[in-house]
């Protein structure tokens, strides 16, 4: 599973999943902390829809961590102040980069979580649809 998809699942999904996967690696491999979880910023570049040009809307606070597992460096980056999650994401990232055998078993779990996230979003949309206006033309 590509990084974009799996990081979205791990960040939007149940926090216990990232914890569980990272602990599987920690129990079996040596993990060296290269960058302890720290706060920083990401400047957000955006495309505006009037002239189709780019501009910076502002910065977003993030937490970043970096670790090394089996000679592969992994990074964990997440919006907000989430030190544990950033480190767990970094461990999982390093595990994928090192192509550790454990990662081969993670696909099913990640896809199940992805489905739960999708259902939760569909449910949220359904709830918001209650506020959809149903216009009726009045006879005057």
- Binding residues (CB under 8 A) for another protein: these are 2-5, 7-8, 11-12, 39-62, 64, 75, 77-81, 118-119, 121-123, 125-133, 135
Sign for the CA dihedral angle at 15, 19, 9, 38 comes to: positive
With CA atoms as reference, report the closest residue to 33 among 3, 63, 74, 61: 74
Query: Considering the complex, what minimum distance in angstroms separates the CB of residue 105 from another protein?
Result: 21
Q: Which is nearer to another protein, 28 or 41 (CB)?
A: 41
Q: How far is the CB of 125 from another protein (least distance, A)?
A: 6
How far, in Å, CA of 80 to CA of 85, rounded? 10
Phi, psi dihedral angles at 5 (to 5 degrees): -70, -45
The smaller minimum CB distance to another protein, of residues 16 and 137, is found at 137
């Amino acid at each position: 599973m590509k990084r974009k998809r799996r990081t979205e699942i791990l960040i939007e999904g149940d926090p216990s999943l990232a914890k569980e996967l990272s602990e599987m690696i920690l129990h079996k491999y040596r993990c060296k902390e290269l960058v302890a979880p720290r706060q920083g910023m990401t400047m957000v570049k955006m495309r505006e829809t009037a002239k189709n040009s780019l501009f910076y809307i502002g910065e977003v606070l993030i937490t970043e961590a970096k670790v090394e597992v089996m000679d592969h460096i992994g990074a964990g980056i997440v919006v907000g102040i989430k030190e544990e999650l950033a480190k767990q994401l970094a461990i999982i990232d390093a595990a994928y980069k090192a192509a550790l055998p454990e990662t081969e078993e993670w696909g099913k779990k990640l896809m199940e979580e992805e489905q739960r996230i999708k259902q939760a979003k569909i449910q949220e949309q359904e709830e918001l649809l209650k506020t959809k206006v149903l216009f009726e033309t009045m006879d005057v």
